[in-house]
């Protein structure tokens, strides 16, 4: 299946479901992104600056929530293919809090370490681990490290294909920026629904 066909399938799944999709994405963004915009710097008596305790708390809270909520978001978009998605799907990751938190922690750490070398290794690492959440949603008995390993194996020989796939959304993401974030309410669901299609076709070996 070509990228255009995957995107068309994604649009079909989204059609008629936009109200629940937008509400779900808004909740996801509110809990994982808006907290990180609370950065406030305080100046100490010796002239040094530091992040305020409240800002540090919100950043930590956002990080803690990202793993379980990203897992839930992937469950939501997988079920959207079957027209059974529900807002409550967003929170199913908290039933596997340990695994989903650790998945976010490890992938963030691995990508950051590879990025220390150069930007390109960091991008390759991000692509290598990109299917870990989807794999975990489909394999409830799989551990965090097993999901990461499975994602690396799945993406072996397909990293450039996914890079090209993701790059095809660059115009949409630029539109999201140009509209001061409003456009992301369309772009994020469109991209994730399409990513699920990529994943399903990758399993079947029908990506081209």
pLDDT tens digits, 26-37: 999 999 886 555
Q: Can you tell me the distance from the alpha carbon of 90 to that of 94, in angstroms, rounded to the nearest whole number?
A: 9
Average pLDDT over residues 100-120: 93
Q: pLDDT for 82-108, tens place per residue? A: 999 999 999 999 999 999 999 999 999
Instruction: Give the pLDDT score at 118.
Output: 84
Average pLDDT over residues 41-67: 66
pTM: 0.89
E strand segments, the chain: 41-43, 49-51
Q: Of 140, 135, 146, 142, whose CA–CA distance to 195 is shortest? A: 135
Q: What is the DSSP letter of 41?
A: E
For residue 99 the two structure tokens come to 């695994």
Kindly list the domain boundaries of the chain, sorted by start residue.
3-204
Instruction: Give the pLDDT score at 140.
Output: 87
pLDDT score of 46 more than 70: no
129 by Cβ neighbours in 10 Å (0-12 / 13-18 / 19+) ranks as buried
Instruction: Give the pLDDT score at 54.
Output: 60
Q: Of 78, 68, 43, whose CA–CA distance to 197 is shortest? A: 78
Q: Can you tell me the distance from the alpha carbon of 175 to that of 114, in angstroms, rounded to the nearest whole number?
A: 29
Q: What is the DSSP letter of 91?
A: G
Q: Can you tell me the distance from the alpha carbon of 67 to that of 162, in angstroms, rounded to the nearest whole number?
A: 22
pLDDT score of 64 more than 70: yes
């Amino acid at each position: 299946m070509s990228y255009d066909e995957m995107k068309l399938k994604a649009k079909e799944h989204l059609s008629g479901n936009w109200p629940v999709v937008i509400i779900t994405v808004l909740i996801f963004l509110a809990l994982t992104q808006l907290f990180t915009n609370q950065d406030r710097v305080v100046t100490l008596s010796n002239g040094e600056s530091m992040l305020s305790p409240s800002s540090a708390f919100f950043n930590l809270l956002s990080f803690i929530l990202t793993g379980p909520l990203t897992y839930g978001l992937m469950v939501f978009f997988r079920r959207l293919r079957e027209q059974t998605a529900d807002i409550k799907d967003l929170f199913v990751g908290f039933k596997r809090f340990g695994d989903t938190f650790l998945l976010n922690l490890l992938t963030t750490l691995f990508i950051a370490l590879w990025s220390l070398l150069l930007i390109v290794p960091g991008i390759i690492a991000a692509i290598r681990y990109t299917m870990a959440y989807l794999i975990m949603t489909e394999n409830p008995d799989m551990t965090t490290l097993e999901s990461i390993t499975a994602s690396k194996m799945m993406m072996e020989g397909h990293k450039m294909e996914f890079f090209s796939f993701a790059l095809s959304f660059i115009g949409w993401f630029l539109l999201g920026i140009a509209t001061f974030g409003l456009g992301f309410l369309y772009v994020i669901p469109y991209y994730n629904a399409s990513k699920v299609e990529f994943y399903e076709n990758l399993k079947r070996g029908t990506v081209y």
